[in-house]
């Protein structure tokens, strides 16, 4: 191809079709920018604007107050000793795995772990042992499973795994596991625990110290109302010198962060939203209430909520026999639901899904959730006689 | 600390003091957003907005046309077989180093390499052999030095280095080395070459194939008018299966990219600016002309431009005896220049520097460059009799 005017015209500014819709995709509900973040985005949008204020170490910038954010506010918020801003939750996980493990070592993780935990472990050359969950309908994760998995690793490799990971909550069913018990089981074997809080940090209260996790990972774009990619990483005093070790070639630069990470609009939107994020976390009980209310409305339509019951997170997984039956009868059936929702300005259930899908109620409030539930009812009714 | 209203009030929206100034910091001149990118930033700012349109693989998204951008436009632009969008140039470099090398292997790089090349190599566990430059005033990099460095590695370790890297141009003097010759020298030993084009891709014409580089790396925030962090990575057909290998755990996800990279405003601003970036690259001769004109004005003030002469890049390093003499005489001397420039709305020479500094003329045009040169003259004059 040639890069001429005709081939280039498709780039430039492109409209975002889903903007303004009610979005129930779990990936999106916690990442909507606050008004302060929208302003910060425009103000700090250029290249890596933050570097104008840098004396060589990103997290030591005093003005804007990145230093205070990274070294005071974030450790307090995450309940950890040391924190950093990274390029995302997966990048945080890889930094930890690559620091505490070496190729050929083992990691134990929950069977509901996000694919990026697997891929990060694979990139770090770690062997993976998954702790099985109990399967449908609850997908319960038994903390004692970590002990059994660690024993198996010891038996197979002669030593404990370098790391254990728990997804808190998982991204399929929104199950919040007993991380405190898991930490305690892992520590019996001196195995450090990483808490993957991509769907937790910025949504619900969490403290790595209270749980006993050695590492905590969060996602700015998923749950902290920031423009991505950006994440956070909290580490205990014990492991901070390992994960945040300095370069032999440049004494101020941290190896696992490749020197610097988020140094433009991403960190500035993370900081801009932070006061509101701190506040919304305090409102978590209301969010859980809304989720349960929404779930009960769907169950009234014959849908079945899989995963923990009663549920304690905004991310939920449903089986929807009513929608599935319709899809079996209508033309191009599996796409009917996506189209019906789209025509009602609702987005977030993947195109083609009808029988099983996940969604999130976070931040929508009862009014919008009511609109979604009404739409579901309306669609069921519309096809009643098909 | 407690996260109460008083401790949180310093976050939220923060003004960017340098906005609107004439910025000659080499980090900033190529990263200013185009109008299309500013619009894209606002439109796609939320979380990872792009994921609304994803079927599981970021670079296969058809609409917005990320697929065509990554698989058609970028390879053409970079002169390579396969390309990806990454979280930055350093992340691109690490992905390559971590793919083609294993801990204990060697890398050969130029003595003017950016610190992030060293840190990325260190993170990948590679031993580093630097090819020396000729030192002041030209800092010439002899392509044959790569042959000697490779020979040394073979002598010390029994095998050739896993990779060679050349910085094109370097970030201190803006020297554009003879990368074609370097590639040819490296290939005599079957050593693949990575071209670090963080200050090249998006500013000046470049083709990995014409040079013979196996890998090419660019920076969206540094030189492609994108909101950071975002980068590009081009790879030859030979190495694409190595660098872009798929996960054993998830057949569509690429291990070195941890599954996905830029999936929000960053990739959308990169794409939004792309048509203009393609066009500005064609204007490179004019940019070099402006740089040389600016350099000659400074030399008229007794400054000395270090590095290649005549210069062929907008990034330049100057020795400024006139400013240094003033700093020796005035109170708080080393900060006078920063303050004087600030009062004239000019930013980009690091606070405290007077004798030596680097700057960039990219994209400023003769009018603004004239204002900067006039300001320099004016400052010299102001302190003439001190």
Does A225 lie in the same domain as A343? no
Give which of B335, B332, B337, B312 is closest to B322, Cα–Cα: B337
- Residue A382 confidence (pLDDT): 96
B118 lies in a domain?
A: yes
Give B335-366 pLDDT, tens digit per residue.
Answer: 999 999 999 999 999 999 999 999 999 999 99
pLDDT at A49 over 90: yes
- Shared domain check, B317 and B244: no
Which helix (H) or strand (E) segment is B208 a member of?
Answer: helix B208-211
B155-195 pLDDT, tens digit each = 999 999 999 999 999 999 999 999 999 999 999 999 999 99
Compute the C-alpha angle B156/B181/B244, nearest 5°. Answer: 75
Q: Are residues A11 and A65 both part of a single domain?
A: no
Q: Are A73 and B1 in contact (CB under 8 A)?
A: yes
Residues B159 and B103: beta-carbon distance below 8 Å: no
CATH of the domain at A87: 3.40.640.10
Structural element, H or E, at residue A193 = strand A193-196
- Which two tokens mark A30? 């916690």
Proportion of chain A above pLDDT 90, given as a percent? 98
Cβ separation B278–A3 shorter than 8 A: yes
Confidence of residue B270 (pLDDT cuts 50, 70, 90): very high
Same structural domain, A43 and A178? yes
Q: What is the ipTM metric for this complex? A: 0.97
A76 closest CB neighbour out of B3, B16, B18: B3
Q: What is the pLDDT of residue B245?
A: 98
What residues in B contact A12, CB-CB < 8 Å?
A: 36, 271-272, 274-275
pLDDT digits (tens, 9 = 90+) for A299-349: 999 999 999 999 999 999 999 999 999 999 998 889 999 999 999 999 999
Predicted confidence (pLDDT) at residue A268 exceeds the cutoff of 90: yes
B338 contacts in chain A (CB < 8 Å):
none
Q: How many domains does chain B have?
A: 2
Taking CA–CA distances from A270, the nearest residue in chain B reads: B12
Q: Per the CB < 8 Å rule, is A123 touching B258?
A: yes
> Which residues in chain A touch residue B269, judged by CB atoms under 8 angstroms apart?
45
Q: What pLDDT score does A331 carry?
A: 86
Closest of A376, A288, A289, A358 to residue A319, by C-alpha: A358
Beta-carbon separation of A119 and B69 below 8 A: no
Residue B123's pLDDT is what? 98
Give backbone dihedrals phi and psi of A284, rounded to 5 degrees, phi first. -60, -40
Is the predicted pLDDT of residue B385 greater than 90, yes or no? no
Percent of chain A with pLDDT over 70: 100
Q: What does the pLDDT read at residue B254?
A: 98
- Say if residue A256's pLDDT is above 90: yes
Residue A222 has its nearest CB partner, among B47, B77, B272, at B47
pLDDT at A299: 97
- Kindly report, residue by residue over A135-172, the tens digit of the pLDDT: 999 999 999 999 999 999 999 999 999 999 999 999 99
By Cβ distance, the residue of B5, B27, B118 closest to A249 is: B118
Which pLDDT does position A138 carry in this prediction?
97
What's the pLDDT at B133? 98
Q: How confident is the model at residue A118 (pLDDT cuts 50, 70, 90)?
A: very high
Average of per-residue pLDDT across A126-142: 98
Last-in-domain residue among B239, B255, B280: B280
Which residue, A280, A312, A338, sits at the end of a domain? A280
- Tell me what percent of the residues of chain B surpass a pLDDT of 70: 100
Q: How close does chain B come to A385, measured CA to CA in Å?
A: 32
- Decide if B45 is inside a domain: yes
Q: Give residue B6's pLDDT.
A: 92
Q: How far is B65 from chain A (nearest CA, A)?
A: 7
Buried b or exposed e, range B123-160, using 16+ CB within 10 angstroms = bbbbbbbbbebeeeeebebbbebbbebbeebeeeeeeb
Name the residue with tokens 């009799």. Answer: B385
Which pLDDT score is estimated for B40?
97
Domain residues for the domain of B273 are 35-280
Tell me the three state secondary structure of residue B302.
Answer: coil
CA-based nearest residue in chain A for residue B264: A228
Please check the confidence at residue B30 and state whether its pLDDT lies above 90.
Answer: yes
Q: Is the pLDDT assigned to residue A1 strictly greater than 90?
A: no
A114, A209: one domain: yes
Q: Measured between beta carbons, which residues in chain B are less than 8 angstroms from residue A256?
A: 123
What pLDDT sits at residue A74? 98
Give the pLDDT confidence score for residue B236 in this predicted structure: 98
Q: Are residues B223 and B351 in the same domain?
A: no
Q: Which among B14, B123, B247 is the nearest to A256, CB-wise?
A: B123
Each residue of B285-337: pLDDT tens digit? 999 999 999 999 999 999 999 999 999 999 999 999 999 999 999 988 899 99
Kindly report the CATH number assigned to the domain that includes residue A360: 3.90.1150.10
Query: Which among B280, B313, B331 is the end of a domain?
Result: B280
Task: Identify whether residues B272 and B323 lie together within a single domain.
Answer: no
CB B31 within 8 A of CB B273: no
Local structure of residue A142 (DSSP, 8 states): -
Asked if residue A369 and residue A296 are part of one domain, the reply reads: yes
Cβ contacts of A91 on chain B, cutoff 8 Å: 87, 258
Closest CA to B49 of B255, B231, B218, B266: B266
Q: What are phi and psi of B182, to 5 degrees?
A: -65, -45
Distance CA B71, CA B67 (A): 6
Residues A231 and A308 in one domain: no
Q: What is the pLDDT of residue A114?
A: 98
pLDDT for residue A386 is more than 90: no
């Amino acid at each position: 191809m040639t890069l001429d005017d005709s081939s280039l015209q498709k780039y430039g500014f492109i409209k975002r079709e889903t903007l303004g819709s009610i979005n129930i995709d779990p990936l999106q509900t916690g990442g909507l920018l606050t008004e302060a973040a929208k302003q910060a985005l425009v103000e700090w949008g250029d290249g890596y604007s933050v570097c104008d204020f840098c004396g060589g170490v990103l997290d030591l910038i005093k003005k804007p107050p990145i230093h205070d954010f990274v070294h005071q506010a974030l450790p307090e918020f995450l309940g950890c000793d040391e924190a950093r801003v990274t390029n995302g939750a997966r990048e945080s996980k890889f930094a930890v795995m690559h620091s505490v493990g070496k190729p050929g070592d083992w990691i134990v993780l929950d069977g509901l772990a996000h694919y990026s935990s697997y891929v990060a472990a694979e990139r770090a050359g770690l062997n993976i042992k998954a702790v099985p969950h109990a399967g449908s309908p609850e997908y319960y994760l038994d903390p004692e499973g970590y002990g059994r998995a660690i024993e198996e690793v010891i038996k197979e490799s002669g030593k404990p795994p370098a790391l254990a990971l728990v997804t808190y909550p998982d991204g399929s069913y929104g199950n919040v596991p007993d991380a405190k018990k898991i930490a305690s089981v892992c520590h019996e074997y001196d195995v450090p625990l990483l808490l993957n809080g991509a769907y937790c940090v910025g949504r619900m209260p969490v403290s790595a110290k209270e749980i006993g996790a050695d590492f905590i990972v969060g996602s700015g774009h998923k749950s902290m109302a920031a423009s991505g990619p950006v994440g956070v990483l909290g580490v205990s005093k014990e492991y901070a010198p390992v994960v945040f070790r300095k370069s032999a070639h440049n004494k101020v630069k941290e190896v696992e962060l490749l020197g610097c990470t988020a140094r433009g609009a991403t960190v500035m939107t993370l900081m801009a939203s932070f006061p509101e994020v701190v506040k919304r976390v305090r409102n978590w009980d209301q969010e859980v209430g809304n989720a349960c209310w929404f779930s009960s409305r769907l169950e009234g339509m014959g849908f079945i909520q899989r995963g923990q019951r009663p549920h304690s997170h905004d991310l939920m997984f449903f089986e929807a026999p009513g929608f599935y039956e319709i899809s079996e009868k209508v033309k191009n059936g599996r796409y009917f639901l996506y189209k019906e929702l789209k025509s009602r300005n609702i987005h977030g259930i993947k195109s083609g899904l009808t029988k099983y899908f996940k969604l999130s109620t976070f931040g929508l409030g009862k009014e919008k959730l009511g609109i979604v539930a009404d739409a579901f009812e309306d669609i069921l009714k519309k096809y009643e006689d098909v």
